[in-house]
Amino acid sequence: MGVDLVDCTPDVREQLRLLRDVRFDYPGGVNRAPIDGVLLTHAHMGHYLGLAHLGYEAMHTHGVRAFASERMAGFLEENQPWASLIERGEIVVTEIRPGEAFEPGGGDGGSGGSGVAVTPIVVPHRDELSDTLAFRFKGPRATVLYMPDCDPWHRWQERALEILDSADVVIIDGSFFDGDELPGRDLSKIGHPLVIDTLALLGDRVARGELRVILTHMNHTNPLIEPDSEARARVLDAGFEIAIEGMEIPL
Ligand SMILES: [Zn+2]
Ligand SMILES: [Zn+2]
């Protein structure tokens, strides 16, 4: 079965070992394509820096596809060490277009495919090195949106709701709980939706059972990562979920 990652964090070495379909080694050899592809959201540290582990000094992969927007692809092609990964064929950049669904396909040489259609969606976020994508995965059973970074809702609420309502399950930006965890920072300049605002925006949909909301991408200051915090109880009581390692969502 094929394995495609969404984003490639600096912790990708440890993360790959958690995936049961990833095999680095086999008797008498080394697997140069432990994964088939990586779908990249954007050029911020936590989302693409782990590609370095696919390079010559580490895994030295062969032909792992890097699905990227035109701007993200250009960034990889024009900057080291990413350009060397491309030159050596460790990654193969495949440009994807917003709104155009594609099938990552896995390791079947394109014949079988994953049965999951992925649609890249451009979302507003600090875009200094690349633009930012969310991905919508449409399988036979469920449609899941992954949007780890985006601007606060009030800056783009109508469009945001359109995107959120296009899925059954949304895994979204839960960076900061509220203004209190960032003393001295101007709330209006925080480039992420606050979880308290997400509760207000999506609470009715969650309560009615129309939408499953899973919060991810928590900052280290976020009380949601503390097991016994009031913030955590409030979120869970409202029917929202908090992403955990090993969570599985069948598509
Ligand atoms: Zn970001
Ligand atoms: Zn991020």
The Å distance, Cα 31 to ligand 1 centre, comes to 31
Judged against a pLDDT cut of 60, whether residue 111 lies above it is answered with no
Cβ-contact 150, 192 below 8 angstroms: yes
- Closest ligand to 128 CA? 1
pLDDT in tens, 114-156: 789 999 999 999 999 999 999 999 999 999 999 999 999 999 9
pLDDT in tens, 208-227: 999 999 999 999 999 999 99
CB within 5 A of ion ligand 1: which residues? 44, 149
The Å distance, Cα 216 to ligand 1 centre, comes to 13
H or E segment and range at residue 161:
helix 157-164
Judged against a pLDDT cut of 80, whether residue 1 lies above it is answered with no
Q: Please tell me the pTM assigned to this model.
A: 0.94
Measured at the CA of 63, the angle between CA 62 and CA 67, to 5 degrees, comes to: 135
Q: Is 4 helix (H, G, I), strand (E, B) or coil?
A: strand
User: Is the pLDDT higher at 35 or at 26?
Assistant: 35
pLDDT in tens, 6-30: 999 999 999 998 988 888 888 888 8
Half-sphere exposure of residue 192, counting CA atoms within 13 Å on the CB side?
21
The candidate with the shortest Cα–Cα distance to 61, out of 29, 88, 42, 84, is 88
pLDDT band at 113 (very low <50, low <70, confident <90, very high): low
